[in-house]
Each structure stands twice: as C-alpha cells, then as structure tokens.
Structure 1
Amino acid sequence: MVAYVFPGQGAQYPGMGKELYTQKPEAKKLFELANEILDFKITDIMFEGTADALKQTNVTQPAVFLHSVITALTSEKFQPDMVAGHSLGEFSALVANKALRFEDGLRLVHQRALAMQEACEINPSTMAAILGLPDEQVEAICSTIVGHVVVPANYNCPGQLVISGSLEGIQIACEKMKAAGAKRALPLPVGGAFHSPLMEPARVKLESAIHSTTFSTPNCPIYQNVSTTAVKDVETIKRNLIAQLTAPVKWTQSVQHMVQDGAVTFMECGPGKVLQGLVKKIHKEAEVDSME
C-alpha cells in the first residue's frame, strides 16, 4: 500500500514550484487561480523571492500548501491508499484525498496562517528541538516547569521531539534537557509556540472558518496529527483539524499506525525531503521517495 505524506512549514525554498508552473499547463492554471484567491501574486514570491520573503507566515504556509497539492494533483502516480500531513501538511493531504476542494483548502490555509501570526503577536513565544532523549523523559521535564507554558509539540521521530512554549519557559527547559543528557536542545527560528495552548486565539478563529467550509467524504483515510489513526468521517476530521493548533503533532505515532495498516511505500509530496528522513527513522524498512 502507498501512503502519500505532505510536509509542513519549514520545507519552503526560493524558486519552489517554478518548474511545475513552466512544465505543466494544469499546474500553471492552479497557481494562477491561487493568485486570484489570495489577492496577491504568491507565485512571484515563490519563484523569484528571497528566503526571507518566503519566511513570512502569510506566505510560507500557502506556498508550501500550493507546491505540495499541485505536485500531487498533477502527478500521474496519484493513487494513494492513505494520506497524512505534518501540521500544515494535513490540509494538503485533505485536498489530495478529496475531502477539501483546492480553493477551500487554500483559503483555510491562508486564514490559518494569519490567525497564527496574530496569536504569535499576542503571546511572544518560541519552540526548541530536543535530540537524544526518550519522549517520556522530555514530557516529564516539561511537566516540572512551573509558571510557564512548556509542552511537547512535534513528535517527529524517536529521539527527536520539538517543545513549544513561552520564551523564558523554553530557555529553562533547554537548560534542563541538556542537564538530563540531551545531545542537543536547540531553540528554533520560529515566531511562536505552535501546537501549544498559546495558539488558542488562532484555534478559535480557525474553528469558525472550518465550520463554514464544506468537507466531503474522502476517497481514502487520513492519519491525522491529533488522533494518529485512520479517519474518513468528516465531522471527526474537522474536530481534529481544529484541535491540531493547540495539540501536539504526533508524527511518529501516525507513521507507525500507517505501517501497521499496511503502508509499505511513502511518497513525499511537496518541497524538500524532511519527511522521508523522519519516516526512515521511524520505520527503517519503509520505502521512501519524493514526487518533487
């Protein structure tokens, strides 16, 4: 069985999508439609913009979504048995399995990006990657930090867990992780504490947007970040999408469940190859490839 997986924020790079645009007429139409929906020429930034320009949240999230979805929709290989996406990538996956229309998925991603940016401005915060400690130990250390929000945010693969929280809380946590034997406790260059309670203002805004968007029954199951198991029920998909902003991304567990359910090949749809590496660390026998 083939699983299609879609990357999240951080996979972007200057020039992304330009080859798709120039070589595939169907891709060009979708990119031009995206320019109309967003009311600015995101293609200019994707194809010709600098890395700094691409780092702006209102650009990054739609750009990664567009590259990922258009790669999948214009591929002759597009016949997944199951899909999953890392954080933002979950919206790409839901377009790929027909739960969301392309236009609706893009609008939701843009609204999500703006809502998250506003939440970051309300609560200055950050994230850090913790390498070389068991998940349980990272969780335990987070729970000892009193007076600050510090929570596990991304279970990326065994030995790699990203934590999220207040600026001071993450600083304290990094010191404790190093003292406990972490190989690295590295603050990340992000603008906020994604997948933590500090994203509650964004969750409220996204909830309203999701409830006003039409979802369809998907043609194959999605393994969502919150639940980690196969989902096809529309109402469950919506609940999980809403919860995702303040809950951790359980990528390790999602991949494990896809393997248990028969996934042999994982195809990464979108920019970069980050998910291929994570899948290999989670399940060494998996076949991984990229559509890019």
Structure 2
Amino acid sequence: MIAFVFPGQGTVRVGMGGWLRRDTVASPVLARAEEVLGIPLAELCTRGPLDRLVSTEVAQLAVTSCNLAALAVLRERGVSPDLVAGHSVGELSALCAAGVLDVDATLELVAVRSRLMAGVPDHGGMTAVLGPRPDVVATWAAKVSTPDEPLVVGLANAPDHTVVSGSFRAIERLSDVAGADPATRKVVPLSVGNAFHSPLMEPAAAAWAEAVAAVPMAAPRVPVVPNTTAEPTTDAGVLRTALIEQLTAPVRWTETMGHLTGADRCVEVGDSKVLSGLLRGVGVRCASLADPAALRQVVRAG
C-alpha cells in the first residue's frame, strides 16, 4: 500500500516550489494556479516578502499549488496512491489526488477558503503545547475555556504535539496550566492570523458550507482520511460534510497517522518535510518531495 499525505498552511517559506518550477510537468500546474487564482504566486514563493507569503489569503494558495504540482509529477511517472490524507487545507489536495475534485475546483475552493478565513475578525490565536498527550491538553483547554473566551484543541498533530486554538485570554490561562505541568517541554505561540479550527471561525462557516455544497464531487477512487473523522472513507457525502465541518473542527492528525502505519510506502506530496517528520515520530517512514532525490527513489520503488 502506498499513502500520499499533503501538507497545510504552516509549511510555507520563501523559496518553496523551486524544483517544481523547473520541472516540465509541474511548472504548467503552477502556471495554471496563477491563472486561476490571479496572484503572482511564483514571485511570492521565490522572493517573498515573507509577511505576505505567510498571510492566510496567500499561504493556503501557495501550499496547495505546490501540492498539486508535485501530485502531477507523481501521476506522470505512474505513481498512484492507495490511501490519501491532508493536513488542514492539505485535505483539499488529498481530495484532488483521490479524484473527488479536479485541479481547477481544488484551487477555486482553496481561494474561497483562504479569503473567508482571512476575513474573520482577528480575535484569537493558536499555541503549540509540546509534551503532554492531546487528550490531556484538551482537558486543560476545557477547564480554562468560557463561552465568551473559547479554547479548543485545533490540531492534534502527534502524541506529544498539540495546538490549541481560541481566545487569547484563554490561551494565556492554558499556558500557565501547561507551564506548571512537568510533562510540558515547551509552549510556543504560533504566528498565524487567527484561531483556525475553532469556534471562532464560525462567522465564515455558512459561506464556506455554501461554497463546498456548490462544487461537484466525484466518488473517490481511493479511501480518504478526513481531518474531522480520522477514519478512511470512500463516501463522497461523508467527505463533503467533513470538508464543511473542518473549518471549525479539530485536525485529528495523530489518529490519522495510525492509518498510515500499515503503508508499504508513504510520500509527503508538496514542498514540505513537516508531515514526514511527524510520521517519523510514530515510526512511519515517509519520503518528502521537498527533496527531488526522494522523487527518484519513489519512482524506482514502482
């Protein structure tokens, strides 16, 4: 079994997509992304500025264009997955890999998603808590959360890597709790535009649901593991619902990685090593296409 995993917004950096822009198969996909999205992605990815590249309305587009370009390279070389998953916005790339969405529909949905998320009033943030289990951090978040100052687990990235998302005041309270626990190695505020994958994204939820409902979705050719359920499925209706709910629901990546332990091969499809690093932490070897040499190894493996 070969699994494809697709990175999300937190993996952007100046210089991303370099080898993809030089590849004869990938470069037309990147050019098409610029055409569909109407922004100079190549210039931003190559030269920045970083503050513009990491902004929500650009970062999701940059990551997705690299994901889809790398996917095109694998397809052209005859490498196809038996299972796919994507981290946060990377789930849209995974749906494309499974044949649920075509390239243009994927790009257009990401453009809507990024615009809606960037447009939510800035009144929250995200912080990584390293060391304790996600369920422990979830208990802390519930204790410090209030109706006016919500806090939830936004990303359960690994058994010892959890990101909370919500009100700044609630984050401060949780940081105090986490810092007093001997299991906590580090508490790291993230440089993000808002409290993604939390109830604070609710102002964008209705418009996002409308956009997802309007896009044709084919039955997946291979199972997809949605972020909200962390269970493989080939049900297009389940995938549509999961994609809608993903905006305010947590990314259950720790559980998702459990479905990848039986893969003979795993490939991080895009220009990132973040997911391959998380997978390495749970004993799954995953080749990252951030390194062109990894592509040659994946193709040779057949």
Q: Which category describes the TM-score, using the shorter chain as reference length?
A: over 0.9
Q: CA deviation at 1:15?
A: 2.1
Quote the residue 2:82 is aligned against. 81
Provide the C-alpha distance between the structure 2 equivalents of 1:77 and 1:127, rounded to a whole number of angstroms.
Answer: 39
Taking only the aligned residue pairs, the percentage that are identical comes to 34
Provide the C-alpha distance between the structure 2 equivalents of 1:93 and 1:220, rounded to a whole number of angstroms.
Answer: 10
Q: CA deviation at 1:52?
A: 2.0
Equivalent residues in 2 for 1:254-265, closer than 5 Å: 254-259=256-261, 262-265=262-265
The 3-state SS of whatever aligns with 2:8 is: coil
Quote the residue 1:233 is aligned against. 235
Equivalent residues in 2 for 1:202-213, closer than 5 Å: 202-213=204-215
Is contact 1:5-1:266 (8 Å) kept? yes
Alpha-carbon RMSD across the aligned residues, in angstroms, is: 1.4
Is contact 2:6-2:87 (8 Å) kept? yes
Unmatched segments (≥5 aa) in structure 1: none
Provide the C-alpha distance between the structure 2 equivalents of 1:78 and 1:237, rounded to a whole number of angstroms.
Answer: 23
Equivalent residues in 2 for 1:90-105, closer than 5 Å: 90-105=91-106
Provide the C-alpha distance between the structure 2 equivalents of 1:210 and 1:228, rounded to a whole number of angstroms.
Answer: 20
Q: State the one-letter code of the partner of 1:214.
A: P
Is contact 1:223-1:258 (8 Å) kept? no
Provide the C-alpha distance between the structure 2 equivalents of 1:271 and 1:227, rounded to a whole number of angstroms.
Answer: 26
Provide the C-alpha distance between the structure 1 equivalents of 2:234 and 2:99, rounded to a whole number of angstroms.
Answer: 11
Q: Deviation per CA, 1:261-290: give whole Å up to 9, x if none.
A: x323211011220101111212x1x22211
Deviates more, 1:172-181 or 1:208-217: 172-181
Unmatched segments (≥5 aa) in structure 2: 291-302
Provide the C-alpha distance between the structure 2 equivalents of 1:41 and 1:139, rounded to a whole number of angstroms.
Answer: 40
Q: State the one-letter code of the partner of 2:124.
A: S
Equivalent residues in 2 for 1:139-158, closer than 5 Å: 139-147=138-146, 148-158=149-159
Equivalent residues in 2 for 1:1-292, closer than 5 Å: 1-24=1-24, 26-75=25-74, 76=77, 78-119=79-120, 122-147=121-146, 148-181=149-182, 182-259=184-261, 262-282=262-282, 284=283, 286-292=284-290
Provide the C-alpha distance between the structure 2 equivalents of 1:287 and 1:18, rounded to a whole number of angstroms.
Answer: 24
Q: State the one-letter code of the partner of 2:45.
A: M
Q: Deviation per CA, 1:166-185: give whole Å up to 9, x if none.
A: 11111111111111231112
Provide the C-alpha distance between the structure 2 equivalents of 1:28 and 1:62, rounded to a whole number of angstroms.
Answer: 15
| TM-score, normalised by the number of residues in structure 1 | 0.94
Cα distance change, pair 88–146 in 1 and its aligned pair in 2 (3 A): closer
Q: Deviation per CA, 1:209-254: give whole Å up to 9, x if none.
A: 1011111111111111111111111111000001111111000101
Is contact 2:268-2:276 (8 Å) kept? yes
Q: State the one-letter code of the partner of 1:162.
A: V
Is contact 1:264-1:287 (8 Å) kept? no
Is contact 1:129-1:160 (8 Å) kept? yes
Deviates more, 1:100-109 or 1:5-14: 5-14
Provide the C-alpha distance between the structure 1 equivalents of 2:104 and 2:145, rounded to a whole number of angstroms.
Answer: 43
Query: Moved runs in structure 1, 4+ residues, more than 3 A?
Result: none
Deviates more, 1:72-81 or 1:99-108: 72-81
Is contact 1:73-1:96 (8 Å) kept? no
Q: State the one-letter code of the partner of 1:115.
A: L
Count of paired positions: 285
Q: CA deviation at 1:87?
A: 0.3
Provide the C-alpha distance between the structure 1 equivalents of 2:213 and 2:206, rounded to a whole number of angstroms.
Answer: 11
Provide the C-alpha distance between the structure 2 equivalents of 1:265 and 1:23, rounded to a whole number of angstroms.
Answer: 23
Q: CA deviation at 1:131?
A: 0.9
Deviates more, 1:224-233 or 1:30-39: 30-39
Provide the C-alpha distance between the structure 1 equivalents of 2:6 and 2:78, rounded to a whole number of angstroms.
Answer: 15
Q: State the one-letter code of the partner of 2:52.
A: A
Is contact 1:196-1:247 (8 Å) kept? yes
Provide the C-alpha distance between the structure 2 equivalents of 1:48 and 1:183, rounded to a whole number of angstroms.
Answer: 34
The 3-state SS of whatever aligns with 1:84 is: strand
